[in-house]
A and B are shown apart, each in its own frame.
Chain A
């Protein structure tokens, strides 16, 4: 008790009298430094929170075997039967856009509503400009998806998106929707919802070939109440090696149609199907769905997609 301190010529009380201010001062310094650290951290957190989200611009492009897509242009060598193809339409909706970190985790991109091409849930990409064979289209085009990610998002290396209007928004009345969901030409109706993708072209200047993706087998329970769709047909696209600052997502129409016979032999009887409109029993849909990594049989993603690339 006293022994250790006796050598310093202090009794316990004296030591306490000496040590307490030191202790207190030390504690105060300690407290102050902790407080400073806490304050600085809080300030840093507050500063991070008040830092604006980072904007992200995902650029898209469309090509036909490497040649830029354009209404009014003609392309050759498409499909299994290597035919000529002239565009009539190319538009598609994307949703659930996310940047991917190297470890595969996703940073969701919040879409920026712009009153024309995007709301907060879905963006419409439109490559047709109403010229040439794209006669039922509009002049306006849109080749970007704009949104934000949280401030401080570290460099990401991949991109993921879904080629669809989300189910929750897919079964309302297009005529009462704000853009981009107000396009009557991309709307099948309440029950079936929107065309997620419309790719149309004229083959060998003879007949049109039409590809429309959308949900099928949708059940209605009373007026306008779609309860679910047997096949959602929502393709998910995951791209590695994608940096939004420098890269562009390219849809290659030639890849879409690579496994398709575009000029089928005339049928002796039965309906003349000229394309794939996501019908569950249309054999033309299977190879096209597969190239988007979709199973026609299940209406769900299955396998890798081969139509979107990164440039």
Chain B
């Protein structure tokens, strides 16, 4: 029994989060929609998460070395929500013209990317950015390539559903979207089962909640890298992959400054995290005017924050399954991993000609960790072996990740 003075010493002022003010009309509109849908709050999680309804408590199936992800307080996990979310994720009814679902750009066999430099929307509009991998997406502190205010999967789901620049799933009318589910007996039953205490369960808020619940289950870590480091299998990594691992985490290459941790990227959080660090980095991809300018079509988080020193800052992406998720960088402008290595070896790439010409290595805003390096051909091969060792072959075969039977 501690004396009162020790207890008093232990008490700390609470750390609160202030929301940032951001001038961005479309984002605020989406946030308003989000406010209708959900109010994300931090919640301490455990292996078993109590459910709001009568369903059995949700049990996370976590790989070795993983702790549970953070889950918003108003969207606890349940098997019924996950099942509904999986149904929705793969259903082209999500798009106004019925041609696209989430899975159109997030394909399980490509670690939930689509193999394109820039994704295509349901009406043929090209996105300025490529689809990001959804593996372990529950652990990220922000969503999409460069948006510091998209902090939850529930909020992010609104973007492809309702976004107009570009048009992705192309929905413009909430009632029209929801009618496709309200008027469907099968979905009515799934929504009712997933949200048993909700008097009107077929709602936009519950739709994005269910999709988020499914996405949170996309946890996978069964690569050779995982078997070696978390499974203790000393033979899981080839000698070349081991050398590649040493190089990747070396002072010389500095990759681990943005690509470290269990998800090999820095902007992660778990149920234990007290305050998420939402990190963005300028990797010297462009330098149009010698003063650090990026193409006007995409200036990174500066598009959202409008601050000039945010130009070129993007979120690091995971190295997991990197061999499956070509092409690379936010706009797919590096066609393969050799192009990526060339970029970092130069401390920032040079684009010799055309409207995007410039020497990224001289970008004044670039991360100081892009120090540049030289690689022998053997070292490059070792790095490729390491990258391959990050591929998890179970993703494409995991029945829980794959499409459920189509609801007629």
Whole-angstrom distance between the Cβ of B224 and the nearest chain A Cβ: 11
Closest to B20 in A: A130
Whole-angstrom distance between the Cβ of A216 and the nearest chain B Cβ: 7
Q: A140-B15, A192-B249 are contacts. A175–B262 as well, Cβ < 8 Å?
A: yes
Task: Establish whether residues A138 and B276, one from each chain, have CB atoms under 8 Å apart when the complex forms.
Answer: yes
Stretch at the interface among A59-67, A201-209, A249-257: A201-209
Check A246 for interface membership: any CB of B closer than 8 A.
no
Task: Report the Cα distance A94→B258, complex, angstroms.
Answer: 24
Closest to A270 in B: B372
Chain A residues, CB < 8 A from B10: 112, 114, 146
Task: Report the Cα distance A179→B361, complex, angstroms.
Answer: 36
Chain A residues numbered 64-116 whose CB sits less than 8 Å from any CB in chain B: 112, 114-116
The contact string, 1 if C-beta is below 8 Å from chain B, for chain A 275-299, is 1011110000000000000000000
Q: A178-B272, A207-B364, A272-B372 are contacts. A191–B3 as well, Cβ < 8 Å?
A: no
Chain B residues numbered 227-252 whose CB sits less than 8 Å from any CB in chain A: 228-230, 232-234, 246, 249, 251-252
Task: Establish whether residues B2 and A52, one from each chain, have CB atoms under 8 Å apart when the complex forms.
Answer: yes
User: How many of chain A's residues have a CB under 8 angstroms from any CB in B?
Assistant: 54
Check A161 for interface membership: any CB of B closer than 8 A.
no
Q: A184-B261, A223-B232, A279-B251 are contacts. A148–B6 as well, Cβ < 8 Å?
A: yes
Find B268's partner among A136, A175, A278 (CB 8 Å cutoff).
A175
Chain A residues, CB < 8 A from B367: 208
Check A44 for interface membership: any CB of B closer than 8 A.
no
Find B16's partner among A133, A139, A185, A271 (CB 8 Å cutoff).
A139
Task: Establish whether residues A135 and B310, one from each chain, have CB atoms under 8 Å apart when the complex forms.
Answer: yes
Chain B residues, CB < 8 A from A52: 2-3, 5-6
Task: Report the Cα distance A274→B368, complex, angstroms.
Answer: 6
Chain B residues, CB < 8 A from A187: 260-261
Task: Establish whether residues B65 and A114, one from each chain, have CB atoms under 8 Å apart when the complex forms.
Answer: no
Whole-angstrom distance between the Cβ of B246 and the nearest chain A Cβ: 8
Check B89 for interface membership: any CB of A closer than 8 A.
no
Whole-angstrom distance between the Cβ of B181 and the nearest chain A Cβ: 37
Check B67 for interface membership: any CB of A closer than 8 A.
yes
Chain B residues, CB < 8 A from A206: 364
Whole-angstrom distance between the Cβ of A278 and the nearest chain B Cβ: 8
Task: Establish whether residues B280 and A135, one from each chain, have CB atoms under 8 Å apart when the complex forms.
Answer: yes
Check B127 for interface membership: any CB of A closer than 8 A.
no
Closest to A266 in B: B362
Task: Establish whether residues B256 and A176, one from each chain, have CB atoms under 8 Å apart when the complex forms.
Answer: no
Check B397 for interface membership: any CB of A closer than 8 A.
no
Q: A138-B277, A182-B270 are contacts. A112–B6 as well, Cβ < 8 Å?
A: yes
Q: A189-B256, A272-B371 are contacts. A216–B251 as well, Cβ < 8 Å?
A: yes
Task: Establish whether residues A139 and B17, one from each chain, have CB atoms under 8 Å apart when the complex forms.
Answer: yes
Chain A residues, CB < 8 A from B276: 138
Task: Establish whether residues A191 and B249, one from each chain, have CB atoms under 8 Å apart when the complex forms.
Answer: yes
Chain A residues numbered 181-233 whose CB sits less than 8 Å from any CB in chain B: 182-185, 187-192, 200, 206-210, 216, 222-224
Chain A residues, CB < 8 A from B364: 206-207
Whole-angstrom distance between the Cβ of A223 and the nearest chain B Cβ: 5
Check B288 for interface membership: any CB of A closer than 8 A.
no
Check A173 for interface membership: any CB of B closer than 8 A.
yes
Task: Report the Cα distance A182→B67, complex, angstroms.
Answer: 11
Find A57's partner among B9, B66, B310 (CB 8 Å cutoff).
B9
Whole-angstrom distance between the Cβ of A195 and the nearest chain B Cβ: 10
Whole-angstrom distance between the Cβ of B225 and the nearest chain A Cβ: 10
Task: Establish whether residues A179 and B249, one from each chain, have CB atoms under 8 Å apart when the complex forms.
Answer: no
Task: Establish whether residues A176 and B65, one from each chain, have CB atoms under 8 Å apart when the complex forms.
Answer: yes
Task: Report the Cα distance A136→B315, complex, angstroms.
Answer: 11
Chain B residues numbered 5-24 whose CB sits less than 8 Å from any CB in chain A: 5-6, 9-10, 12, 15-18
Task: Establish whether residues B268 and A184, one from each chain, have CB atoms under 8 Å apart when the complex forms.
Answer: yes
Check A273 for interface membership: any CB of B closer than 8 A.
yes
Task: Establish whether residues A271 and B372, one from each chain, have CB atoms under 8 Å apart when the complex forms.
Answer: yes
Task: Establish whether residues A179 and B272, one from each chain, have CB atoms under 8 Å apart when the complex forms.
Answer: yes
Find A208's partner among B246, B249, B368 (CB 8 Å cutoff).
B368
Closest to A217 in B: B251
Task: Report the Cα distance A135→B254, complex, angstroms.
Answer: 20
Find A207's partner among B15, B230, B347, B368 (CB 8 Å cutoff).
B368
Q: A114-B12, A206-B364 are contacts. A185–B266 as well, Cβ < 8 Å?
A: yes
Task: Establish whether residues B15 and A175, one from each chain, have CB atoms under 8 Å apart when the complex forms.
Answer: no
Q: A189-B256, A189-B260 are contacts. A182–B273 as well, Cβ < 8 Å?
A: yes
Find A188's partner among B256, B275, B280 (CB 8 Å cutoff).
B256
Find B347's partner among A137, A185, A272 (CB 8 Å cutoff).
A272
Task: Establish whether residues A116 and B249, one from each chain, have CB atoms under 8 Å apart when the complex forms.
Answer: no
Task: Report the Cα distance A273→B368, complex, angstroms.
Answer: 8
Task: Establish whether residues B65 and A175, one from each chain, have CB atoms under 8 Å apart when the complex forms.
Answer: yes
Question: Residues of B at under 8 Å CB distance from A?
Answer: 2-3, 5-6, 9-10, 12, 15-18, 65-67, 228-230, 232-234, 246, 249, 251-252, 254, 256-257, 260-263, 266-268, 270, 272-281, 309-310, 313, 347, 361, 364, 367-369, 371-373
Which 8 A-B residue pairings sit nearest by Cβ, starting from the closest? A52-B3, A175-B262, A140-B15, A208-B368, A184-B261, A136-B279, A55-B9, A274-B368
18 residue pairs of the A-B complex, CB under 8 angstroms, read: A52-B3, A112-B9, A112-B10, A139-B16, A140-B274, A146-B9, A146-B10, A173-B65, A175-B263, A183-B277, A188-B256, A188-B260, A191-B249, A207-B364, A207-B368, A222-B234, A271-B347, A271-B373
Known: A53-B6, A135-B313, A271-B373. 8 other contacts (CB 8 A): A173-B229, A184-B277, A185-B266, A185-B277, A192-B256, A209-B368, A224-B229, A271-B252
